[in-house]
Structure 1
Amino acid sequence: MNRAPALLSALVLAGVTTANVARAADPLVLQVFTEARSTIVASHRLQNYLEEAECRADLLFNGEQRGDLIFRPGKTDGDLLLSAVNRDGEHPVPVWVTRKTAGVGSLSELQGRDVSLVAGDDPLASALALEALAAHGVSPEPGQIYEAGDFSSALGLLLHNNTHAAVSELGLVRPMLETQGMVITWQGEPVPGAGWYAPAPLPKSTNTRACLNALARMQRLDDRQIFRIFPEWVSGFRPPESNDVEESRS
C-alpha cells in the first residue's frame, strides 16, 4: 500500500511543505561581517565548536548578504535573535578615555588635540565618539585623527602619548583604568543593535535550536581565537529583550 499521498496530505494539513522539511535538514548558513584581517583560525575553531554542539552550519564572512543568520556590529534588517553583550553582560557603552596625568576634565578640552579612533562599521568605533566630540564643539582635523585597527591599538596610541584621548567601550576598558593610569572623560548611553539577525524566518528544527543555543553559550573567555572575528568589546551573546527587538525593526 502506497502511503506517500497520505503522508504528504498530513504534512500539508500540519502547515509543513516538503520544501520546508528539506530546508530543515540543511545546514544553516552563518554569515559574519567582520573587520578581522584573517578569519582562517577563527573559522576553523568556530566550525569545530558548532559541530560539537550538534549544530550543522556553513560559515561565510563578509561579501554579499546571503546568510540564514547574520552577525552585524550594528542594527540591520531582519529579526534580532541574539544580542551581542560586553564583559558585564550588557549592551556596549561608548566612552572617551584620557590619561589621568593629562587632567582633561571635558571633551571640549580636546579641541585641536590628536585623538585615536577605530576603523570599521561598529558604531562604537568612531561614529558615536565623533558625535560626542561635536556635541562639545570639537571637530578634529583629518591630521588629528589616528585610526587604529582595534580598541586595544587605539588605547596603545593614547598610552604611548601619540594621542590625547582614545575611544573605547566601558566593559572592555574598565579593568585597565587603574593599572594603566587612565580615566573616563565621557560616557555615552548603552547601544543596542549588534548581534545575530535572521533576514527571514528560520526553519523550525532541532538544528536551528542547536545552533542558536550554541551561539548563546559562546564566551570570549572560553575561546579568544573565535572572538577575533567580532568587535573587541563583544564577550558573548544573549536573547534580546523586547525593547531591543522593537528597536532593531525601527
Structure 2
Amino acid sequence: MVKLALLGESFPSQLRENPQALRDVQVVWSGTSLEAFKNEVPEMRPDVLALDFLELNAVDTGVIPSLLERARARHAIVTYRFARRGVLQQYPAGKVRLLQGPISLSLLRAHVHLAVLDDVLQPQPVRPPVNPAPTPPVAAQPVSPMQLGAPGGATLATVTVPAVPKPPRYTQEQLGTLLEYSSSVRCECPNHLSQIVAGLQAFEEYSKQCENRDDADRQVHAMLYRYTAGARAVMEEALDALVKHENIQL
C-alpha cells in the first residue's frame, strides 16, 4: 500500500469529513505545521508527499526538493491556488506534480496512484516537432488605457464594492470540510461552492502580492483586490445560506 504524508491547512478537516476517500492509501502523517512535518515525517518513510501551499510564489524553490530528500519520498503532489508561470517551471516534472487547488481527496488519491505508476512506465520516444510555416506578423492595435470608474460597458463603474473589504468568514479548515461534504441527495453544491470561495480568497492575497511598475499598476491591483473581496463576500453569503439549508455543522 502506498504511504502518503499530507501537509496543508485543509487536509486534516478533509480527512475527518471523508476518511474513506483515501481507502487504499496509508496516510502516515497529516498536519498543518511545516516544522512538525520536517521533524516527524522522515522516520515514517512515505512514498508520496501531498503539499498544499496557498501562495506558491512565496515558497522558496528549494523547500519542496528538500522535503522530498528528507523524507526519501519518490514523488510530491503540490497543490496551489495561484502562481506565476516562471515559478511553476522551476519544479522537476518527474518528481513533482503541480495541481491548482483546492482538490478533493478523491482526486488526490487518483494522482497519488498516477505518481506511483510513473515509476513503472517506460518513457515513450518523442518525435521532433514539425516546424509550421511562419505566419505573417499581425500589426499591433493601439490600446487605450483603462479608465477606472469611467462610464461605459468596458469598465466596472456599474458595480459597487465597499472601500474596506469584509474579512473572510470561512477558514481553510472549514472550507476543507465543505469540500468533502457528502449530501444525502445528488447535490455537490457545497463542494463546488467551497472551491469557489477558496479560490477567491486566494486571489485576494495573490493580487496584494503582485509587482507594481508604477502608480497605474498599483491602482489596478488595488481595484482587483477590492472587487475580488466583494465577490468573495457575496459568495460567502450564498455559502452561508447553503450551509444553513443543508444543516451542515462546521
TM-score of the two chains, using structure 2 as the length reference:
0.29
Higher helix proportion (structure 1 or 2): 2
Whose strand proportion is higher, 1 or 2?
Answer: 1
Per chain length, whose mean CA-contact separation is higher, i.e. which structure has more relative contact order (CA < 8 Å, sep 6+)?
1
